[in-house]
Structure 1
């Protein structure tokens, strides 16, 4: 058998690993299969990857008793005194153009070679390979791609900044502000609030700076649980729990008041996705008074159904909508009336004024 091993010129190195490709060319495939028994092998000349010597072992009739119908290919560590070398490798049969054949490519995940002579391998079924077009002129060409890992890549865990800031809020460490909301007191940190809200920045680092340090800051037009949720979001970028639709609406107003854009989007989205006949009138008033255009449009689309409109009229919030936002009610009616009746609608709405 004329056996020839060539190492390809392609090689590149990176900081965490080094990769090389080694090409093993077996001339006289049939003769090797006839001469070498199960468990017998041909070993390539050594090649270097990652500062270590390696070789490819080719077993034409398999490396173990139960794999005589296979070709076995093993990558073996040949360096003396080498310990715990981490590497991954791939064996590929090459086609006539020197390109890997996907159906005859076998990737081995990263393994640790503990000492010289240790090997790991893959198998190829001889019958399938011999029936293919990839043994040409009784020659088989196989490429071994070896990657030696110099250092294991460290997986960076997800950010836990929100947990630390949440603990800071809960434990009140170094808090320099106190808020009085609906009879409850809340401790907070001036720098955190100012960093998260331009409104808080203007209030706490501006004219109110001295007064806010001396006594609790009174917030008279907000519920305590709403302010608590607002603080929780400022510190952790998340809402504390699953809230009801009414509370979501109040938090949306608070987020708008303190110009916390992401919280506004979250609450408005939740309200848009949970519109029902009992709450749609309240949501419409909320959207009109505070300019929440997405919420308003979602409510109007919901009320485009006559049955939903009828149910809304029977709800507790209808009278409040009628008295506080007549133009919105007119818009609701206009959307479901045919064009020829819109004039009559205008007349009716004029009579309500």
Structure 2
């Protein structure tokens, strides 16, 4: 007996949109009071199905899409590709809480058709007053929206037995789920009045410091694993734990300094390198001295070397900053290190210059 299998190609895409200074957008709306006047648009993102690339973007209407929805935020998914045929699929829209948990706001209960002239508009995405009252959704005044789109392609048929496909690796998704639910947790971190649950096995696998800490508790017969955290705030600690579980950081630019401290304290090498690179990319005249102090305090030798080179390059501009004057008082040894590096650079330049002069043949000797 012959057999065949008919299936439909699927393309699953997730797009994260972080809207910073969210309250400022709302204040602008109140100032102008224009219906449909304040529309924020995301950059384009892409999917590919049946060999065709499709283009999308998202829009937020801060005064609602119509007068009757002025107390609501409206949301729109735009299909921007030039393809004539409809693209069909499903969608889900989530908001993200400050602990990384996704909250489903809306989804399609049946197949939806997308085309360039028919955008998907959600008039009552969420109420303005509700989102402002729920502080969990606006960490550092930033709203995070995740749009999931699943596009269906053409049916295809495979003759013969069902083909063996490459399995999907779901470890990261599993650990993300564990981070979100904290199911079967066996450690409690205390931050002020807040209790944060976690899993010992994951912590000791990622950090030698946690390994030693829990090993010593085990030897001492301490069955209740409770750890007080006094040197990180709740938002930073949640970012720190998220990285331990998933290797992901949602707010690196905001917390790279604090996360560098955490990575150094708990000896998490990859996180430390990520933070060092983030600080290096954002290096400028005004923050150079503070960055050097941070590198010194957290044993970030590579970041320190690059920062010293930067300071020597922009000399007087950096020396005249408030941060540099504070560093002279709090970390005078760094001023010495800067001077030594500058002296060495000048000696090298002098040696190179003398070598060039010795190797050069005067023109009159060639005649």
Task: Give the TM-score normalised by the residue count of structure 1.
Answer: 0.49
Task: Give the TM-score normalised by the residue count of structure 2.
Answer: 0.47
Point out which structure has higher relative CO (alpha carbons under 8 A, 6+ apart).
2
